[in-house]
Chain A
Amino acid sequence: MKSRTLSCRKTAFIQDLRRFWPIGAGYLLVWILLQISIADDVGNDGYWYAQNLIGSITVGGIFNLGYALVVAQAVFGDLYQTRMCNGTHSLPLRREDWFLAHCAAGLLYSLLPTACIVLLSEVLVGKLCVFQNGWQLPLYWWVGLNLQYLFFFGLAVLCTMAAGSRVGMLALYGIVNTVSLLLYLLVDRVYVPLLYGMVVTSTTFELLCPAFHILSIAFLHPTQIETGAVYLNENGALVQETINVFTVEGADWGYIGVLALIGLVLTGAALWLYRRRDLERAGDFLAFPRLTALFQVVFSLICATGCYAFYSLFLGTTKSAYPLLALGLVVGWFAGRMLLERTTQVFRKGNFVGLVLLIGAFALSLGITMADPLNLEGWLPVADKVRSAELSIGGVSNKVNITENIDDLICLHQIGLEEHYPAYDYTGLSEDGTVFARITYDMKDGRKITREYYVDQGGEGGKILRRYGSRVEAVFGQYGITTAQQLRDRIRQANSIVLDYRITSQAAQTDAFRQKLADAILADCENGSTARSYDLHTQELFQDLPESYRPRSLYLSLEGEHYAAMDVYADCTNTLKVLEDAGLLETVKEYRQSLALG
């Protein structure tokens, strides 16, 4: 009996290969073209070939997203046609045998074409790649790509089993692949604006959306190193030579490994569903009636979020778009019902009851969010429970972990709450005289909590922002400068010091000038007048110039092997004084005057 079962499975498996081989051939062709394109692009640069080959795993993520869907629909597609479904299931094979045969065929549709590409790549690696162990690269590529496929195929098979038709499967697959981002959109666009200062970051949501996250991570980081090899030649003499070895570092194998495992679990869940599936559901949108309510709710929420996000994206407001949520829910509810019932005759009393319940539940959730029973809006951390805090102003972050500094940021947080300037808006507009600041707390219990506020630039909050925004590490951190001494060294080592991209002078290149400049910049940092945020500096330079030619800052750059730069604002009095003494300021002014005169 066992051998009979094997024979039947083999027959079903071979039948899948016979029927759908063009799909695999198409996939193979796409990869061949891509490999040829990569080889063509890189010319004879073996290093770049390696980079591109490994980099194509990311593209493979998108390929696999669609390819797994196509393959799953092909091998399990008989479930969606009543005749084929009945015909095949009258044959002497258990469902798990059909399932195993189809899954094996489905996996082979990835393993085989990619194995062919490995062979092709090995030829190209042999021709192009300068690395002694370059032959491993195609294997890394093969493993990475197939681990991805395992996940997407598992997900696609699960959707195949839950759906009753191809359209239903497509819809489910689309939803489960994007549900976490849709959820993020819903939370971020609908709920978060109701709580002043609240922020949710997309990181976790992205992690839960492999189709998206795969695009943003680097699976492998190939690096070129040189290794000394020592050996005895045929004359017994010791010979030492340098060889190129390719190493793969920083790979995120853990993530794709977990994905592959999840794919296997999903495949197991799909088999569980298959065993419970009633074959008479072939052609229905969903194969399990119990899923219909869930689908309708999720579909309605997607439509509501879509309507709302679309409106707020183009028309730039949030609050006025809230009524659209109700409209989206209505549209989604009935559109979902139409898909489920495959008819437009869905406007029945029973369906309206469900819709009213959904809208009621949604409105209640918005009401509860606004009531904020957990006091999320007014929450202030206790300094003892904060490991570190990060202040971001004008795109520059400043991390602090000393209690005194953390207290300052908590104070800023409190000011933000008290001043309660209009919350962050997607248009980026803020009230005049306010400055945007983001505070992120890294709590000792592992949580990361972020808040965003606009604070009065002339108030206490503005002072804190100036103080922290003007710290050396905040102003020059992006250039690797975090201490006063490092800044002095950088100024001393600079090839030239340039103002406003082009203005310099002999006087500006002397050691004495550099010493004075370093002292002046550090003094301004200490005074809190060098913060990079434009909003913290209201005065303009060169008051006697026509209004449109008055700059709010001058760009001071330290040219050389290690570049660094800062904006010199009107309140950087010490720095301006040094620049003026060196004649640089006058030159800049003259240049700007000439521009003003045309």
Chain B
Amino acid sequence: MLEMKNVTKRFGTVAALDDLTMTVPQGGVYGLVGPNGAGKSTAIRHLTGIYRPDAGTVSLNGQPIWENPKMKQIIGYIPDDVFYFPSATMEDMRRFYRGMYPSFDDALFDRLYDAFRLPRKGQIRRLSKGMQKQAAFHLTLAIRPQVMILDEPVDGLDPVMRRQVMSLVLSDVAEHGTTVLISSHNLRELEDVCDHVGIMDHGKMLLERSLADMQGSTVKVQLVGQAPAELEILHETASGRLKTLIVRGDVQTVTGQLQAAKPDYFDVLPLSLEEIFIYELGGADYEVKNIVL
């Protein structure tokens, strides 16, 4: 289990992380979302042992990560801005990673050439941004990490390669029980792969739970006619006769209540991750707590 407990990190007068607590369950795929400047990358840099927290603890399987090679060697990290030694080729990086990671799998590394089709000899820095990202996946998958931490992993990849990459990651999760943390702004893609979601803002964790719980506790209702009085409406908008309501409750309960009221038309839809994200951040003019409780 990957865990941050009450972590605070200040950059000068700015609190990048403010008493942040998050838990990534073992074997799960955790989506970390938040607006720009929420502190996602800072949190990830703590989880990869780069930054030292001013306060709080960051641990993997109960052991601290900072300055702990034993833990760091089972973590594969792809930063938002990948790095390579200036003149390094894929084979140079293979040698380097082989020396750094005891679990480095040379056979897998060779097989991954078929998936990514990267040049063995050319300098990586001369490749396009997308290909450099592919190279990062190539290397990270080859170390057979138990935990994969991906910061904007598919940023710069074409749609086909995005699917290819996510497929490789998910097959790793399925086969080896790898724990994955993905930070991304592409909520649509996260929704397809994540089973847990954490929403951050201003260095704090606003909401953290399984996607199923999150989507099950609040629904979106489209309705023509009078809404039943027993509905706990959190937000309401109207476009002509069509009303859109954000309602507390699971799909079955809300559907039952609407059927009993017999409006002209109704439809009950689960909230998308994007909608949850928007409402969580106050974009729908009401508090997050009202949605999820």
Residues of A in contact with B (beta carbons under 8 Å apart) = 1, 4-5, 7-8, 10-11, 14-15, 18-19, 83-84, 86-95, 97, 278-280
Interface of A is mostly: helix
Interchain CB contact (< 8 A) of B45 among A10, A18, A86, A93: A86
Q: Does B263 contact A (CB under 8 A)?
A: no
B11 touches A280 (CB 8 A): yes
Residue with the highest number of chain A CB atoms closer than 10 Å, among B79, B82, B86, B87: B79
What are 5 A-B pairs at a CB distance below 8 A? A1-B70, A11-B100, A83-B82, A90-B48, A92-B73
Interface residues of B in 98-126 (CB under 8 A from A): 99-102
* Given A1-B70, A4-B69, A8-B69: A92 touches B101 (CB 8 Å cut-off): yes
A92 touches B100 (CB 8 A): yes
Closest B residue to A11 by beta carbon equals B99
Interchain CB contact (< 8 A) of A83 among B51, B83, B96: B83
Interface residues of B in 36-92 (CB under 8 A from A): 45, 48-52, 67, 69-70, 72-73, 75, 77, 79, 81-83, 85-87, 92
Closest B residue to A289 by beta carbon equals B12
CA A95 to CA B69, docked complex, whole Å: 10
B96 touches A280 (CB 8 A): no
A4 touches B67 (CB 8 A): no
Interchain CB contact (< 8 A) of A95 among B48, B67, B85, B100: B67
B79 touches A19 (CB 8 A): no
Known: A83-B83, A87-B79, A93-B72. 5 other contacts (CB 8 A): A8-B99, A11-B100, A87-B82, A90-B49, A93-B100
B85 touches A93 (CB 8 A): no
Interchain CB contact (< 8 A) of A89 among B50, B75, B82, B95: B50
* Given A84-B83, A86-B83, A92-B72: A10 touches B102 (CB 8 Å cut-off): no
A15 touches B85 (CB 8 A): yes
CA A278 to CA B45, docked complex, whole Å: 12
Interface residues on B, range: 20 to 34
Closest B residue to A15 by beta carbon equals B96
Chain A residue contacts of B73, Cβ below 8 A: 4, 92
B50 touches A86 (CB 8 A): yes
B50 touches A90 (CB 8 A): yes
B96 touches A11 (CB 8 A): yes
* Given A94-B69, A280-B11: A89 touches B49 (CB 8 Å cut-off): yes
Residue with the highest number of chain B CB atoms closer than 10 Å, among A4, A5, A86, A93: A86
Chain A residue contacts of B81, Cβ below 8 A: 83
Chain B residue contacts of A279, Cβ below 8 A: 50-51
Residue with the highest number of chain B CB atoms closer than 10 Å, among A11, A84, A87, A93: A87
Q: How many whole Å from B124's CB to the nearest CB in chain A?
A: 12
B67 touches A86 (CB 8 A): no
A7 touches B99 (CB 8 A): yes
Interchain CB contact (< 8 A) of B52 among A1, A90, A97, A278: A278
Q: How many whole Å from A447's CB to the nearest CB in chain B?
A: 48
Interchain CB contact (< 8 A) of A19 among B52, B67, B77, B85: B85
Chain B residue contacts of A95, Cβ below 8 A: 67
CA A225 to CA B44, docked complex, whole Å: 71
Chain A residue contacts of B75, Cβ below 8 A: 90
Chain B residue contacts of A14, Cβ below 8 A: 99
Chain B residue contacts of A18, Cβ below 8 A: 92
Closest B residue to A97 by beta carbon equals B69
Chain A residue contacts of B45, Cβ below 8 A: 86, 90
Chain B residue contacts of A88, Cβ below 8 A: 83
Name the 8 nearest CB pairs between A and B, nearest first. Answer: A11-B99, A87-B83, A92-B73, A92-B72, A92-B69, A90-B48, A83-B83, A90-B77
Q: How many whole Å from B99's CB to the nearest CB in chain A?
A: 3
Q: How many whole Å from B155's CB to the nearest CB in chain A?
A: 15
CA A7 to CA B101, docked complex, whole Å: 9
Q: How many whole Å from B2's CB to the nearest CB in chain A?
A: 14
Chain A residue contacts of B52, Cβ below 8 A: 278
Interchain CB contact (< 8 A) of A94 among B67, B79, B95, B96: B67
Closest B residue to A14 by beta carbon equals B99
Q: How many whole Å from B106's CB to the nearest CB in chain A?
A: 15
Closest B residue to A9 by beta carbon equals B99
CA A373 to CA B73, docked complex, whole Å: 65
Chain B residue contacts of A91, Cβ below 8 A: 72, 100
Q: How many whole Å from A11's CB to the nearest CB in chain B?
A: 3
Chain A residue contacts of B83, Cβ below 8 A: 83-84, 86-88
Chain B residue contacts of A87, Cβ below 8 A: 79, 82-83
Chain A residue contacts of B92, Cβ below 8 A: 18
Chain B residue contacts of A83, Cβ below 8 A: 79, 81-83
Chain A residue contacts of B87, Cβ below 8 A: 19
CA A91 to CA B102, docked complex, whole Å: 12
Q: How many whole Å from B102's CB to the nearest CB in chain A?
A: 6
CA A325 to CA B81, docked complex, whole Å: 47
Closest B residue to A85 by beta carbon equals B50
Q: How many whole Å from B278's CB to the nearest CB in chain A?
A: 30
Q: How many whole Å from A286's CB to the nearest CB in chain B?
A: 13
* Given A83-B83, A86-B50: A8 touches B100 (CB 8 Å cut-off): yes
* Given A4-B102, A11-B96: A90 touches B72 (CB 8 Å cut-off): yes
CA A108 to CA B238, docked complex, whole Å: 74
CA A432 to CA B99, docked complex, whole Å: 79
CA A86 to CA B73, docked complex, whole Å: 15
Q: How many whole Å from B97's CB to the nearest CB in chain A?
A: 9
Q: How many whole Å from B132's CB to the nearest CB in chain A?
A: 11
Chain B 224-238 interface 0/1 with A at a Cβ cutoff of 8 Å (1 = within): 000000000000000
CA A93 to CA B99, docked complex, whole Å: 11
A5 touches B99 (CB 8 A): no
Interchain CB contact (< 8 A) of A86 among B70, B79, B96: B79
Q: How many whole Å from A320's CB to the nearest CB in chain B?
A: 43
Chain A residue contacts of B79, Cβ below 8 A: 83, 86-87, 90
Chain B residue contacts of A90, Cβ below 8 A: 45, 48-50, 72, 75, 77, 79
